[in-house]
Amino acid sequence: MTEQRGEPDTLSSEPGTDEQSAADQDSLSFWQMLGSVGAAAFGVQSSKNRQRDFSRGKPLHFIFLGIAFTAVFVLLVIAVVRLVLSSVG
């Protein structure tokens, strides 16, 4: 039987270990991501939050939230314009 010395045993980590809980802590919450998307849409993102987003965020989550935010914004603008036009005429 041969031993592998000097290499960490990466296969022995079980679900629920400290590594997994640390990864969960490092990921952004929905509200943090939504706040970042909103701040980015208006161009007021702080450098601290930008660094946090790039280091802990997942690009796909930001893409989906950005598309959803844009769709809601466009629908809101359409609703406001229709409301104003219906009250004028």
Look up the domain containing 74 and give its range: 19-88
Q: Is residue 36 part of a domain?
A: yes
Per-residue pLDDT tens over the stretch 9-40: 555 445 555 554 555 567 899 999 999 999 99
pLDDT given at position 27: 87
The tokens 């802990």 sit on which residue? 56
Q: Is residue 14 part of a domain?
A: no
Residue 13 per-residue DSSP state: P
Q: Is residue 83 part of a domain?
A: yes
pLDDT given at position 29: 93
**pTM to 2 decimal places:** 0.64
**Is residue 7 predicted with pLDDT exceeding 60?**
no
What tokens were used for 49? 């939050």
Q: Is residue 12 part of a domain?
A: no
Q: Is residue 10 part of a domain?
A: no
CA atoms within 13 A on the CB side of 1: 1
* Number of independent structural domains in the chain: 1
Per-residue pLDDT tens over the stretch 63-76: 999 999 999 999 99
**Is residue 62 predicted with pLDDT exceeding 90?**
yes
Residue 33 corresponds to which amino acid?
M
Q: Is residue 44 part of a domain?
A: yes
